[in-house]
Structure 1
């Protein structure tokens, strides 16, 4: 009986609480507090929706309060939209009689989709404000977004309702051919600095054509996007040295997520893919960020891929993956890749001078440099490694061994390291008798090697692989391999430093 009375009492309490449909509130008096007084919605492209940003609104009083209105200053014409504690309001622009309990808070989620024509023409900023209440109790939180106009390149919708694709081997991928006479964009093979470019899918350069990138061009890739060089097609990236931190003359390839939280997130887009037979490819002053593979270079047609003054950062798999390729590299910096910064595989012909290859990826399987002469496909096959020459280079990272030379006996395997700083700790003497790693006694393959000495980079996590006069790489180079200017245009002194950077005092 006593148990029955107790359960009845609990039931009455639940019934009473569930019947309550309102709160005793007092009007807002303009004493709300906010997590920020201005919400900066980071740079967005014309007509592309932003990420969602959060504002928290606090009621620090002892009373449940009612806010008569929360609305956007530009009303229903505003390009911003909100949800307030999950409520949609009037088209996401206006909300009435919003309650905040005592000592509680609410969340406002804010997004925008705007056109560059909506922004202030002087600074391309689009602004509005969230207005809480009105009259004497009015409180505002400012909203600010930078709108960039851009050229959008993407597969076309065909007349049969399907979307344009590219034939790659036996497969078709989401992509399109760049058109030198596009009715909207004009010459899509010429990338200028006038507007940024946003690419959806893989943009292919047709056979016999050349894609040209002017100094200062900016190209942003959506997820699973990139550039493909077909057989007999070419790419010329013509960046030049910049004089400010804005890298105004650098050509930059990166993902299309412009928020700071995505600045160093790998794998946001695909790759720059030089397929079998592409020709006369040249890269100068190019920065590649956050790709799956920075460059995929496959069996080019015998002409040398020339890569100069190029930086490749935060690649999910490889910075450069070369397969039976021919590459001449000068002043290259590659930092952080899930598998290898530089992978010269399936044979080929490679020369790298004054380059810095570093890998601090959080994985025991990563290396800075991998060289082999085979491919493990359905039928394993070897190809001749004509040469892999590294001169005045730095090969370093966080793992014990940052270089792998993986030779199969069925093909030539020629390599040479001259005046290089190498990270190779022979843990447990595993490689003591391996003929590929006789750094001190093999004068055919190794000359003037600095082993396991720290280059003392400025800041690896920020991709600043500069060195100063205290670095082990200072003045250890050979003038016979001198590239007169470093990656940022500084004159090299003699004897030259190792790596892509001339030593300079670090900023204090």
Structure 2
């Protein structure tokens, strides 16, 4: 009997202690502290959910308190939604009698999904407040979100419920062909600068058609999405020099996650694919970032692809992957790529002038530039590299060696570097890497000297007059203006940027 009595008493004590907080709480007195007074939810597209943002609420008093209400000012009509310490409340909008222990804190997580019509028409901001308590004890934290209107392009739903697909590399993928007479969007083959575009799946350019991008066009790709230019189709990107750092005339391709957390996350979308047999491509003033592979060029016809004034950053695999292509590149900048910034495989014909190929990806088994005349799975396995010429270029990065040659003797392998700054620290007897004595392949090479880029982590590859690349270019290869339209001097600097003086 004594044993049962002890258990009974223990049960009472346990019940009392578990409820004690409820008995001991006092009403909130309006003295809560917050981790921020305004929560800025990054830009979202209309009717597309935002990321999740955090607010921390502190009780700095010595008392356990009960907050009568935590709610959105617009109540159940708010386009925001919350969880409070894991609780969903009334539709994520209203929470009653929230306990917060002494010297403790709670987390509020906030999201939104709003239409452009919900925003203020003068600034496109959608706002609300989180209200804590009421009356004399009322405290508020502001919520602010910029809503962007956009043109949404995506695969249609088939009658059987499946998504529309297109074929890439003999495989069906979620995708659709752009229609120049679409009943909703009009001419989908012309991307203007009037509204941003959001693409789901692969947007295909049909045979014998040309897709054009006006200066200032903005294109956002959802996960696993991309642009596919089919056989006999063409890509024309017509960006222009911008007058400000906002890149108002640049054509920009990036992922559709607009939160600042995703600014430099590789692999958010797939690629721009120029298919076998596609023709007459021209790319000017394009900034492309955060793809798996930026430009995937798959053995197009023999027309020369013009790539000028183009920046490619943070690609999970390749910045440019060219397969037996014919490319003339000027003022190109590539940085951060998991395998190679520029990879030319299975031969081809390439000339790159005044370009900066840097790779600061944090592993050693990758390169800024890699050249090969072979490709596994192809028949024959090797193909002529007619030429790979680099003039007034910088090939650099954080690894020991940033230049790689993969040569088969079964096909031609012609390459030449003229007036280039190159990082290659290994001492080797391999005849392909004799930078100082092999005049057939290397002329005026600056080896392993620091170009002193302004800020690599921010993809700013400007140099000043202390750089090893300053005034080391050959005038005969000179491109009159650099990537931002600045006039080059004589002799020109190496790389895509003409030097400037920076404030320290």
User: Per the shorter chain, which TM-score range?
Assistant: over 0.9
- Listed as ranges, the matches of 1:217-366 within 5 Å are 217-366=217-366
Does the residue aligned with 1:136 lie in a helix, a strand or coil?
helix
Give 1:159 shift. 1.9
TM-score (ref. length: structure 1): 0.96
Q: Residues 20 and 374 (structure 1 numbering): CA distance in 2 closer, same or farther, change over 3 Å?
A: same
What residue is the counterpart of 2:502 in the other structure? 506
What residue is the counterpart of 2:458 in the other structure? 462
Give 1:11 shift. 6.0
Give 1:95 shift. 1.4
- Listed as ranges, the matches of 1:62-461 within 5 Å are 62-377=62-377, 381-426=381-426, 429=427, 431-432=428-429, 434-461=430-457
Could you tell me whether the CA contact under 8 Å between 2:149 and 2:195 is conserved in 1? yes
Give 1:170 shift. 2.8
Cα deviations by residue, 1:79-127 (Å, 9 ceiling, x for unpaired): 1111112222222111122221111111111111001111111111111
TM-score (ref. length: structure 2): 0.97
Number of residue equivalences: 504
473, 477, 480: which one aligns with 2:476: 480
Name the CA distance, whole Å, in 2 between partners of 1:345 and 1:406.
9
Give 1:29 shift. 1.2
Does the residue aligned with 1:485 lie in a helix, a strand or coil?
coil
2:61 corresponds to 1:61: yes
Name the CA distance, whole Å, in 1 between partners of 2:183 and 2:420.
52
Gaps in structure 1 of 5+ consecutive residues: none
Gaps in structure 2 of 5+ consecutive residues: none
Cα deviations by residue, 1:295-324 (Å, 9 ceiling, x for unpaired): 000111110110000000011000000001
Name the CA distance, whole Å, in 1 between partners of 2:414 and 2:21.
81
Name the CA distance, whole Å, in 1 between partners of 2:213 and 2:378.
38
Name the CA distance, whole Å, in 1 between partners of 2:456 and 2:3.
68
Name the CA distance, whole Å, in 1 between partners of 2:13 and 2:209.
79
Could you tell me whether the CA contact under 8 Å between 1:23 and 1:64 is conserved in 2? no
Does the residue aligned with 2:348 lie in a helix, a strand or coil?
strand
Does the residue aligned with 1:268 lie in a helix, a strand or coil?
coil
Q: Residues 446 and 3 (structure 1 numbering): CA distance in 2 closer, same or farther, change over 3 Å?
A: farther
Does the residue aligned with 2:136 lie in a helix, a strand or coil?
helix
Name the CA distance, whole Å, in 2 between partners of 1:337 and 1:4.
70
Name the CA distance, whole Å, in 2 between partners of 1:21 and 1:469.
68
Does the residue aligned with 2:23 lie in a helix, a strand or coil?
coil
Give 1:26 shift. 1.5
What residue is the counterpart of 2:41 in the other structure? 41
